[in-house]
Amino acid sequence: MITRTRYNPKEIEEKWQAQWEAEQLYHAPDDSPKPKFYNLVMLPYPSGDLHIGHWYNFAPADAYGRFIRRHGYNVMQPIGFDAFGLPAENAAISRGVQARTWTLANIETMRRQLRRMGAAWDWEREIISCLPDYYKWTEWLFLQFYKHGLAYRTKAPANWCPSCNTTLANEQVLADGACERCGSQVIRKEIDQWLLKITNYAEELLDFSKIEWPEKTVTMQRNWIGRSEGAEIRFYTEINGQREEIPVFTTRPDTIYGVTFFVLAPEHPMVEKITTPEHQAEVDAYVDQARHMTEIERMSTEKEKTGVFTGGYVTNPVSGEQVPVWIADYVLMGYGSGAIMGVPAHDQRDFEFACKFGIPIREVIRPAGEEPSDADTWTEAKVALGVMVNSGPFDGTPAEEAIATVTRYVEEQGIGKFMVSYRLRDWLISRQRYWGSPIPIVYCPTHGTVPVPEDQLPVILPENVAFKPTGESPLRYEPDFVNTTCPICGGPATRETDTLDTFLCSSWYFLRYADPHNEQQAWSQEAMKRWLPVDQYIGGPEHAVLHLMYARFFIKALRDMGYLDFDEPFTRLYHQGMVLGPDGQKMSKSHGNVVAPDEYVEKYSTDAVRCYLMFMGPFDQGGTFRPDNLEGIWRFLNRFWNLVTESWIDNPTGEETGESKAIERLRNKTIKRVTEDLSSFRFNTALAALMECNNALIKQQNEPVARSKAYRDTLETMIELLAPMAPYITEELWHLTGHTGSVHISEWPTYDEALTRDETFTLVVQVNGKVRERIEVAAGTSEGEIRMMALDNPRVASFIGDATVQKVVYVPERLVNIVVRNE
RNA sequence: GGGGCGGUGGCGAAAUGGUAGACGCAGGAGACUUAAAAUCUCCGGGAUGGUGAGUCCGUGAGGGUUCGAUUCCCUCCCGCCCUACCA
């Protein structure tokens, strides 16, 4: 027996939150006999506020996890915090609070917000990457990479942000050369740094055959790795009577006879040797100028080509011709060999360079059927493949064979070889910052670089540090941290004071969720077997090439070290869209259009906000947050609440029956629609189906059928179907209608395919493709009868008139199209 | 420059070869109310029509394939996102 009540979100949300936690309803036990499903969202940074973007990611992901769980899976849906990183440090500098204190306070706030969201998080598995029980294993992982030769230290040009006083990965520098975090202009600087050899895995990372990922993400990773096939050809010169070779990488060895100049990157070691005294000053000035630019600036295509002649010459090993050597910043030290052969006729960049500096342009490739022309009159390079011309013994080699022929030739002559080059570069992981995982390395005057023994991990990050605007890690000024003893000889030694890129922390956190409290190991083999890989990963497309590639690299490297036995971390991946501010612009503080979800949770309810975000439009497309539209969901939830409670009041026992076939059909159709929609992340149409069902039931609320068992069953089914999206209201209604267990562990409703079909259907009759009549026809009527009905229909007949019927197209249960022609 | 996604009522959208606009917002009219809010009922692409049955037009523009195109193909326009001297 229930009494009439109003939908009171605050009351029921708090009640069920407490109840679920007391029951540990969302804990995924390690010993369940059910099949596992690992449903993962990207762990948030603890900024101290769970913003609308988090909601848009997490709420639908949660609905999906809940949906899967109802199909009998042991769903693991963990949450944690990516807690190292710059904002904490900036807060420490600007407000004088400790980074750790600030971070942990933020985590506390976000935990509250995450709970209120009503997602089925398994809090037992929470991880916080800035706490020693987690970063101990991040350090341990670094040591494994080091021991297996995948971590190395070298002097490397680094992107350096003068404002943040830190190095940045290429990926963290914006296209205009600005720092991703603070927007200041990034410069280049050479310092000793640690890198991981992700390039060892370039080839394997190009294999996406074992994962179901969005095509666009696969494409982005493929482009990022940037594999190109070509040849290395060694040009040579003589300096002080010594033969010196300078290799170039080219994808177009067939253009070798078109080489009219040679370019070195300004940082190329040969620059010093090859420059003649009379060009020294000019070259020095240019090199110096290049150093002050970031790689991003240098790569800007907008910029006009610059460069200077070194005075030196090299010999083309194929043609024997001597060409001048220039230096120019459009040649990058980090790609290929840092030197190129200039072929202005057939490469646009070389063409622009040659035009600017008056270097000859020589045509050596001619597309089939094209007439010879004067290269000096060209306005752009001819980059298409073609027959080799002006190429000595190679003249006449057809387009299809040209590249292979020249490659084979240079191999035979021992002056070059076939080569694959990648755009991908090693991953720079050193950060001259305090708030990150320490790098467990000690520098000993006698033994050099010594890894901290594993039994001495973790190297603890000191908690009280002084920040100085020196550009070096504050750790450098912590004598208790810096000064240590050598693990080998026990003599005085110093610690590495750089910390690890936070992308390292997030490259393995999903492994730790499977075994979060293990004090002996980063993870156990049993935990890996039980939970990994991740079945469904949901997060923003902005991580397509950073996090998602680093994580793939980690899994492959750890597999090769023997710590894992699978190849890919995330089997299926889905990218949600972006929520825009009410003005349709990207949300940002400067625009003043940031939406705070808490405000709407307060005004309406958690369920309303969750459902609104899912109803907004397709999940992968995002959309504009329109506060007015929340009204619609709010009304729906209230109307549903009222319908259920009133129905149970009016008909407490539910024993009466009546003509209810139509209701049964509605129930089955709705189950089918919602099930199919949720399976493919179409939350918007799933909710629309539930609204339609609700509207249909409300229409019949005062009719006898409302007292039927079928009507009540349909309402119960609706509670069950809505539960993944609106967990609180459905749980309350589930109990109000007499159930005892949680709706969230009830079995997902099933439907009878036969009952999803109506007894009649509307037959559309077209004449020449235009709708002319609609006829209600009983299901199962034969095709012959239907054709007859259509042709005999008086309205249809009037449109046919005297014309001759050419053809009658019949689409079962849908339409008849009568094709006629006037004589 | 390259790659991707998108363009449908006043607005968010639905329909992926078969009734265009489901569902929802905003709006209008009415009911209830002393009144307002809430709630409920009805209306709603455009043109045309004794504004009645109906007819014609309509999914960014143009063309094509098809009995039939929002959906597939080609050309173009616009918007957003990613990427960018990678030899």
**Which residue places its CA closest to the C1' of nucleotide B67?**
A819
Query: Please, which residues have CB within 8 angstroms of residue A695's CB and are 6 or more apart in sequence?
Result: none
Which nucleotide is nearest, taking the CA of residue A632 and each C1'?
B24
Which nucleotide is nearest, taking the CA of residue A215 and each C1'?
B4
- Alpha carbon distance A347, A263 (integer Å): 13
Alpha helix stretches (DSSP H) within A700-780? 709-722, 727-736
Which nucleotide is nearest, taking the CA of residue A795 and each C1'?
B54
**Which residue places its CA closest to the C1' of nucleotide B1?**
A301
Backbone angles phi, psi at A730, to 5 degrees: -70, -35
Half-sphere exposure (Cβ direction) of A600: Cα atoms closer than 13 Å? 25
C-alpha angle with apex A299: A294 to A301, nearest 5 degrees?
140
Q: Give the single-character DSSP code of A189.
A: E
Which nucleotide is nearest, taking the CA of residue A580 and each C1'?
B80
pLDDT given for residue A288 in this prediction: 82
Q: How many angstroms separate the CA of A24 from the C1' of B24?
A: 36
Q: Which helix (H) or strand (E) holds A522?
A: none
Q: How many angstroms separate the CA of A509 from the C1' of B73?
A: 46
Backbone angles phi, psi at A447, to 5 degrees: -100, 0
Q: How many angstroms separate the CA of A810 from the C1' of B69?
A: 18
Low-confidence ranges of chain A (pLDDT < 70): 1-4, 164-183, 185-186, 292-303, 468-473, 654-659, 823
Q: How many angstroms separate the CA of A814 from the C1' of B68?
A: 13
Q: How many angstroms separate the CA of A157 from the C1' of B22?
A: 58
Separation in Å, CA A732 to CA A16, A461, A742? 8, 47, 9
**Which residue places its CA closest to the C1' of nucleotide B22?**
A688
A387-388 vs A365-366, strand pairing mode:
antiparallel
Q: How many angstroms separate the CA of A772 from the C1' of B51?
A: 21
- Alpha carbon distance A37, A530 (integer Å): 10
- Alpha carbon distance A236, A342 (integer Å): 15
Q: How many angstroms separate the CA of A772 from the C1' of B56?
A: 14
Q: How many angstroms separate the CA of A42 from the C1' of B30?
A: 51
pLDDT given for residue A303 in this prediction: 64
Q: Which helix (H) or strand (E) holds A593?
A: none
User: Structure tokens of A433?
Assistant: 């910052």
- Alpha carbon distance A427, A669 (integer Å): 52
pLDDT digits (tens, 9 = 90+) for A72-131: 999 999 999 999 988 888 788 788 888 999 999 999 999 999 999 999 999 999 999 999
Question: Would you tell me how many other CB atoms lie within 10 Å of the CB of residue A801?
Answer: 9
Which nucleotide is nearest, taking the CA of residue A629 and each C1'?
B25
Q: Give the single-character DSSP code of A194.
A: E
Tell me the pTM: 0.91
Torsion of CA A407, A409, A415, A417, to 10 degrees: 30
Q: How many angstroms separate the CA of A301 from the C1' of B1?
A: 8
Q: How many angstroms separate the CA of A743 from the C1' of B42?
A: 37
pLDDT digits (tens, 9 = 90+) for A266-300: 889 999 999 999 999 999 988 888 776 654 455 45
Q: How many angstroms separate the CA of A348 from the C1' of B74?
A: 29
Which nucleotide is nearest, taking the CA of residue A624 and each C1'?
B12
pLDDT given for residue A96 in this prediction: 81
pLDDT given for residue A171 in this prediction: 47
Q: How many angstroms separate the CA of A558 from the C1' of B81?
A: 34
Q: If DSSP states are collapsed to H, E and C, what string results for A739-751? A: CCCCHHHCCCCCC
**Which residue places its CA closest to the C1' of nucleotide B6?**
A621
Which nucleotide is nearest, taking the CA of residue A578 and each C1'?
B81
3-state DSSP helix/strand/coil % of chain A, to nearest 5: 40, 20, 40
- Alpha carbon distance A785, A778 (integer Å): 11
Q: How many angstroms separate the CA of A672 from the C1' of B39?
A: 31
- Alpha carbon distance A188, A162 (integer Å): 10
ipTM reported for the complex, 2 dp: 0.93
DSSP letters for A281-342:
HHHHHHHHHHHTS-HHHHH-TTSPP--EEEEEEEE-TTT--EEEEEE-TTS-TTSTTSEEEE
Which nucleotide is nearest, taking the CA of residue A335 and each C1'?
B86
Which nucleotide is nearest, taking the CA of residue A227 and each C1'?
B86
Which conformational region is residue A414 in: left (phi greater than 0), alpha (psi within -120 to 50 degrees), or beta?
left
Which nucleotide is nearest, taking the CA of residue A219 and each C1'?
B3
Torsion of CA A770, A771, A773, A778, to 10 degrees: 120
pLDDT given for residue A296 in this prediction: 47
Alpha helix stretches (DSSP H) within A389-508? 399-413, 479-482, 502-505
Q: How many angstroms separate the CA of A770 from the C1' of B74?
A: 26
- Alpha carbon distance A567, A555 (integer Å): 6
Q: How many angstroms separate the CA of A632 from the C1' of B25?
A: 7
pLDDT given for residue A175 in this prediction: 53
Cα-to-chain-centroid distance, residue A241: 55
- Alpha carbon distance A733, A711 (integer Å): 15
Q: Give the single-character DSSP code of A533.
A: S
- Alpha carbon distance A502, A431 (integer Å): 9
**Which residue places its CA closest to the C1' of nucleotide B17?**
A811
Q: How many angstroms separate the CA of A9 from the C1' of B27?
A: 30
Q: How many angstroms separate the CA of A699 from the C1' of B26?
A: 24
A322-327 vs A308-315, strand pairing mode:
antiparallel
**Which residue places its CA closest to the C1' of nucleotide B14?**
A685
Which nucleotide is nearest, taking the CA of residue A638 and each C1'?
B39
Which nucleotide is nearest, taking the CA of residue A623 and each C1'?
B12
Q: How many angstroms separate the CA of A215 from the C1' of B77?
A: 27
Which nucleotide is nearest, taking the CA of residue A688 and each C1'?
B23
Q: How many angstroms separate the CA of A790 from the C1' of B50?
A: 32
C-alpha angle with apex A175: A326 to A543, nearest 5 degrees?
125
Which nucleotide is nearest, taking the CA of residue A341 and each C1'?
B87
Nucleotides of B under 7 A from a protein CB: 1, 3-6, 11-15, 18-20, 22-26, 38-41, 55-57, 67-69, 81-87
A499-500 vs A127-128, strand pairing mode:
unpaired
- Alpha carbon distance A455, A519 (integer Å): 12
Query: Please, which residues have CB within 8 angstroms of residue A232's CB and are 6 or more apart in sequence?
Result: A247, A248, A249, A337, A416, A417, A419
Separation in Å, CA A810 to CA A254, A404, A815, A816, A817? 59, 57, 6, 5, 7
Which nucleotide is nearest, taking the CA of residue A300 and each C1'?
B85
